[in-house]
Structure 1
Amino acid sequence: MSDDSNGISRRNVLKMAGSSAAAAGLAGLATASGQVEVNVGFSSDHGRVAAKEKADEVVRDFDSLDIVTAKMPAASAKGLRNNPHVRYVEENGEVHALAQTLPWGVDRVDADVAHDNGNTGSGADIAILDTGIDSDHPDLQANIGTGKDFSGKGSWEDGAGHGTHCAGIANAVDNSQGVVGVSTEATLHAGKVLGDDGSGSFADVAAGIEWAADQGYDVASLSLGASSGSTALQDAVDYAYNNGVLVVSSAGNSGPCTDCVGYPAAYSNALAVSSTDEDDSLSSFSSTGSEIELAAPGGSVYSTYTGGGYDTLSGTSMSCPHVSGAGAQLMANGASNTEARQALKDSAEDIGLGSNEQGAGLLDVEAALGGGGGDPALAVSTGSASNVTETEATLGGSLDDLGGASSADVYFEYGESGTTLDNTTATQTLSATGSFSDTVSGLNAGTDYDFRAVANASDGDSATGTAGTFTTSSSGGGGDTAPTIDTFSINNRSNGGWARFEVSWGVSDADGDLASVDLTLAQSGSTADSASFSVGGSSASGSQRLQDKKGSGSYDVTVTVTDANGNTATQTTTVTA
């Protein structure tokens, strides 16, 4: 990659700091008065004796070094410099531990607040598809998982620095030294798809993406790009995304330009990221276009580098891993790749740039995670419809969180499918979370209806559940036929951190009165995860990820379909994580 600019290295910073400290020690003694503590270096015992004679207190007499540390009047210390048996006299200054740096980008996207709220990304897996990762780096070593070389070098170790820099932005350890990443405890996997010269082929990158998907990793971070696309590369991106991987890619560094997002970022199943500077302006080098979904810090970003060091680089390559680390935190908390992608966009901060420059806005990690340990949000969910007849149905919902309010008014909005939900039920006031229901009447027979739960909290907040659907019985229909499960398949995507299963289902009912589908993941009779869907009509299908953090062993996956008259069908399959 040739798109990043170097800044001051950590090595040079330390060299400058050391020179300043030495000069300060000498200058301090020259202007000192009263009692001082000094280190006296001597060339013979005569010098040792002279130093001790001048001392009010001997602080340390070294065993092997020809040095005495002593407290004495400043005038005596200055006089010792003239003793031919004394090599030097210097003030005994202080040395301090090197503090961990909070990079401006991590701070700007509120990832540090997310850390304080207990969000670290533990359990998630990030594939850094780049020039490799320095596996011995003290800020990365504890988070390194595995790696694979696709560049032909034979080793996935980083010989360029670019991949290591991106890895630190995404997931450097919070260890009181160096830097801290957006995520801090996810597992990093190095897919070396670029050589040490920063370049690689479409096939190399596609193979790395395929590997990340086949390993079941959560995030594929691609700080790379080309001005034109490749069908093979697009196939790989689609494969990974359809197998649950959040594919994050840098938009490119062709700016200033218009509609110039590179590939793979331009593909619909990749999340394209532009770059901002510390003042929230668009970085001058950042590519723009309608494909941009998020903006993230990319100008002058300080992060890990090869040789255990640190460096400052700029580019959309630096923006990309900010989003990758945030995506890992969401997926560590149970979000799917599509849910994480939407949450990142829904929570982004509008910083006043054009939609082709910032997409949904600037990344906000804390907001995407729901504020972590901050104030909870009002939450309501739509349940299923039951007791459905030709003219009536009982609608169900749940008040999931009061958001800190003392109470909330809840009700349902409903209407025929394809029309506005302009009918409402009576308001119920709840002072605690839990389920609620209401029966609606006057419905038309054999008709599809949409409905949703609504909550208005006493503190002014409002929330709306996702719409559900039900179908009233046809005129004269008995509804006696039980529903059937037509398809039921499981894609096992378990890895070392999660037991994960993508469950796909299809159901039908001859009476056309489907009501709900319930999925459960259970181990030894105990439910580990579940999901429910409101359905209607004569057929329905869908898919859902069920998972158990750090789970292993055998699990029972069960699908149950229920119609409006309470008839059910159930099927269970045993899988092993």
Structure 2
Amino acid sequence: MAGTPNFDRRTFLKLAAAAGLTGAAGVTTATPGRSPGPKKEEILVGVSKTADSPRKAVEKHVPGNATVVHENKTLSYVAVKFPSVAADRARENFISAVTKRDEVKYAEKNVTHQALYTTNDPQYGSQYAPQQVNADTAWDTTLGSADVTVAVVDQGVKYDHPDLSAQFGSDKGQDFVDADGDPYPDVLADEYHGTHVAGIAAGTTDNSEGIGGISDSSLLSGRALSESGSGSTSDIADAIEWAADQGADVINLSLGGGGYTSTMKNAVSYATQQGSLVVAAAGNDGSGSVSYPAAYSECVAVSALDPDETLASYSNYGTDIDLAAPGTNVLSCWTTDTEYKEISGTSMATPVVSGVAGLTLAVYDLSPADLRSQLKNTAVDVGLSENEQGAGRVDAANAVTTEPGSGGGGGGGGGDSTTSTIDDSLSSSADSDCWSYAWEYGSPSQVVVDLSGPSSADFDLYVNEGSGTCPTTGSYDYRSWTTDSEEQIVIDDPDTSADLSVLVDSYSGGGSYTVTVTEKE
């Protein structure tokens, strides 16, 4: 039973200010002539929303040989393009100079991301992925619902494919590579990845045609990768924001590379706060660290399994893995006359999880945090380490037949939750508050920390777990650092050996704020 205890000295204590502190809708159409795909000549500059506009805040600091070529007002960043002949040093000098400006939160290269699949020789045969995650059993409860939308941010999707056309409505999506309203692949022979991913998540089931996708969810295509299989941070971030604004319940990111970027982090944070579950591929390097964007705490990071449920040799693994799913030799939709083909990768495992998420939402109305917990709580332990499988192999039958919050499966978890709130204010960018939160449960399965601050200011949220020490803006376990004052941090299986420490910091401006901490057993 949910409870709402009052903040008192036992539950939530205000600490002394931390020492050592350091200071589509909304997407402006790209400037004509801006090249599609990777944009290595560009620097992305994030601007606090206390500025009049991102473009105005940055434009006056741009050197004469560069120009602002793109603006995203929702995520509050601009892209500054330098001539292709400009030396890397010129871009580095610009990053160093512009980040000294009060309204600028970050500046970073517009790095390139790749579709995360591993090609192999064509193999034709029966599907195994839906059966391995017990989707066929889940279909006795639901085939999915057109009221649930899965957005595929990837290459374009062949939306007239016979196994996909029924899953698309009148709005097929957006093309962020070529900056137009048609996400159809440019070169069908080369641009198959998005179509394959879409078919896994939501190829039409029980239609006497081809394959059965995991769920009969509605599909949206956000074309952010070109026919070469690569795309820029800005195109992907814009597509994520657009998908969230379209009301996507699940956003599938079968892509990675480029490392941590604030622009992408802010995009997945925005999508989560808008109500979208972001599911991302762990990476195909076979390494012990999860690639970005999957490594962001907001994302559900997915590793890939072979048909015998061992970890695929190509799959990344590590402490950030949330779930595992079949990814090797997965049969799905194709863009050429072949129509169906098997390929492998964490790209293929990711839409299996997205499809199971779609099935789950057809039965239960869940927030992104609760949906994430449901998928993990109902996962199946296949005998791998936690670094390889996370909570376990996703299981569709368990997910749709287990009442949320009742536990079960490999992820554990109970049914109780408790919510605590505190209201206070910050006066200016020189101000911050640190709070210590005493745990209500001995072993909570998840804690969600939300910050809601004034729209006229830019407040940020920092959290430490397990140490009892106050985070600073330069030293923390978790940070939510968007360009406005709406922040959220989700921690699965938090360390309760010490009180949770929460820092609210004003990057710019002042006003009242509310911090909400929700523990789930």
TM-score (norm 2): 0.54
Give 1:350-429 correspondences, 5 Å limit. Answer: 350-370=381-401
Any conservation in 2 of the 1:147–1:191 contact (CA below 8 Å)? yes
Q: 1:543 to 1:171 in 2, by over 3 A?
A: farther
Q: Residue 542 of structure 1: CA displacement?
A: 5.9
Q: Residue 229 of structure 1: CA displacement?
A: 1.9
Q: Residue 202 of structure 1: CA displacement?
A: 0.5
The reply to whether residue 328 of structure 1 matches residue 358 of structure 2 is yes
The reply to whether residue 200 of structure 1 matches residue 231 of structure 2 is yes
The reply to whether residue 248 of structure 1 matches residue 272 of structure 2 is no
The reply to whether residue 299 of structure 1 matches residue 328 of structure 2 is yes
Q: Quick check: which one's strand share is greater?
A: 1
CA distance in 1, matches of 2:333, 2:385: 32
CA distance in 2, matches of 1:383, 1:263: 30
Q: Residue 343 of structure 1: CA displacement?
A: 0.5
Q: 1:382 to 1:352 in 2, by over 3 A?
A: closer
Q: Which amino acid aligns with 2:174?
A: K
Q: 1:243 to 1:356 in 2, by over 3 A?
A: same
Any conservation in 1 of the 2:116–2:347 contact (CA below 8 Å)? no
CA distance in 2, matches of 1:315, 1:418: 40
**Secondary structure class of the residue paired with 2:225:** coil
CA distance in 2, matches of 1:295, 1:225: 17
CA distance in 2, matches of 1:321, 1:167: 7
Counterpart in the other structure of 2:173: 147
Q: Residue 297 of structure 1: CA displacement?
A: 0.4
CA distance in 1, matches of 2:261, 2:369: 23
CA distance in 1, matches of 2:326, 2:358: 17
CA distance in 1, matches of 2:390, 2:396: 16
The reply to whether residue 123 of structure 1 matches residue 147 of structure 2 is yes
CA distance in 2, matches of 1:418, 1:303: 46
Deviation per CA, 1:441-469, whole angstroms, max 9, x where unpaired?
Answer: xxxxxxxxxxxxxxxxxxxxxxx9x9xxx
**Secondary structure class of the residue paired with 1:306:** coil
Q: Which amino acid aligns with 1:245?
A: S
- Using CA pairs below 8 Å that are at least 6 residues apart, which structure has the higher relative contact order? 2
Q: 1:380 to 1:359 in 2, by over 3 A?
A: closer
Deviation per CA, 1:158-202, whole angstroms, max 9, x where unpaired?
Answer: 231100000010011111221001112x10000000001101000
Counterpart in the other structure of 2:80: none
Residue of 178, 183, 203 corresponding to 1:172: 203
**Secondary structure class of the residue paired with 1:292:** coil
Give 1:500-519 correspondences, 5 Å limit. Answer: none
Give 1:51-66 correspondences, 5 Å limit. Answer: none
Any conservation in 2 of the 1:122–1:329 contact (CA below 8 Å)? no
Q: Residue 118 of structure 1: CA displacement?
A: 2.4
Q: Residue 122 of structure 1: CA displacement?
A: 3.3
Runs (5+) with no aligned partner, structure 2: 1-114, 419-437, 447-452, 456-485, 487-513
Q: 1:178 to 1:355 in 2, by over 3 A?
A: same
**Secondary structure class of the residue paired with 1:272:** strand
Q: Which amino acid aligns with 2:168?
A: I
Residue of 125, 136, 142 corresponding to 2:160: 136
Any conservation in 1 of the 2:116–2:254 contact (CA below 8 Å)? no
Q: Which amino acid aligns with 2:257?
A: A
**Secondary structure class of the residue paired with 1:116:** coil
Residue of 112, 122, 133 corresponding to 1:8: 122
CA distance in 2, matches of 1:114, 1:418: 36
**Secondary structure class of the residue paired with 2:230:** coil
CA distance in 2, matches of 1:121, 1:110: 18
Q: Which amino acid aligns with 1:5?
A: T
CA distance in 2, matches of 1:262, 1:247: 15
Identity among equivalent positions (%) equals 40
**Larger of the two Rg values belongs to structure:** 1
Deviation per CA, 1:447-497, whole angstroms, max 9, x where unpaired?
Answer: xxxxxxxxxxxxxxxxx9x9xxxxxxxxxxxxxxxxxxxx9x9xxxxxxxx
Q: Which amino acid aligns with 2:301?
A: A
Residue of 319, 340, 347 corresponding to 2:378: 347
CA distance in 1, matches of 2:440, 2:157: 54
Q: 1:180 to 1:7 in 2, by over 3 A?
A: farther
Q: Residue 331 of structure 1: CA displacement?
A: 2.2
The reply to whether residue 288 of structure 1 matches residue 314 of structure 2 is no
**Secondary structure class of the residue paired with 2:303:** strand
Deviation per CA, 1:352-377, whole angstroms, max 9, x where unpaired?
Answer: 111111111101111111259xxx99
CA distance in 1, matches of 2:249, 2:156: 18
Deviation per CA, 1:49-92, whole angstroms, max 9, x where unpaired?
Answer: xxxxxxxxxxxxxxxxxxxxxxxxxxxxxxxxxxxxxxxxxxxx
The reply to whether residue 225 of structure 1 matches residue 249 of structure 2 is no
Q: Residue 116 of structure 1: CA displacement?
A: 1.7
The reply to whether residue 181 of structure 1 matches residue 200 of structure 2 is no
Q: Residue 381 of structure 1: CA displacement?
A: 7.2
Q: 1:196 to 1:370 in 2, by over 3 A?
A: same
CA distance in 1, matches of 2:226, 2:253: 14
Q: 1:344 to 1:208 in 2, by over 3 A?
A: same
Q: Residue 117 of structure 1: CA displacement?
A: 1.9
Q: Which amino acid aligns with 2:148?
A: A
Q: 1:148 to 1:3 in 2, by over 3 A?
A: same
Any conservation in 2 of the 1:274–1:358 contact (CA below 8 Å)? yes
Q: Residue 2 of structure 1: CA displacement?
A: 6.8
CA distance in 2, matches of 1:240, 1:366: 27
CA distance in 2, matches of 1:380, 1:219: 24
TM-score (norm 1): 0.49
CA distance in 2, matches of 1:541, 1:204: 32
Q: Which amino acid aligns with 2:292?
A: Y
Any conservation in 2 of the 1:153–1:195 contact (CA below 8 Å)? no
Q: Residue 543 of structure 1: CA displacement?
A: 10
RMSD: 3.5
The reply to whether residue 313 of structure 1 matches residue 316 of structure 2 is no
Aligned residues: 308
Runs (5+) with no aligned partner, structure 1: 14-100, 385-416, 422-463, 467-486, 490-503, 505-539, 545-577
Deviation per CA, 1:335-361, whole angstroms, max 9, x where unpaired?
Answer: 121111000011111111111111111
Q: Residue 7 of structure 1: CA displacement?
A: 3.6
CA distance in 1, matches of 2:304, 2:298: 20
Any conservation in 1 of the 2:116–2:284 contact (CA below 8 Å)? no
Q: Which amino acid aligns with 1:304?
A: C
CA distance in 2, matches of 1:199, 1:272: 20
Q: Which amino acid aligns with 2:129?
A: G
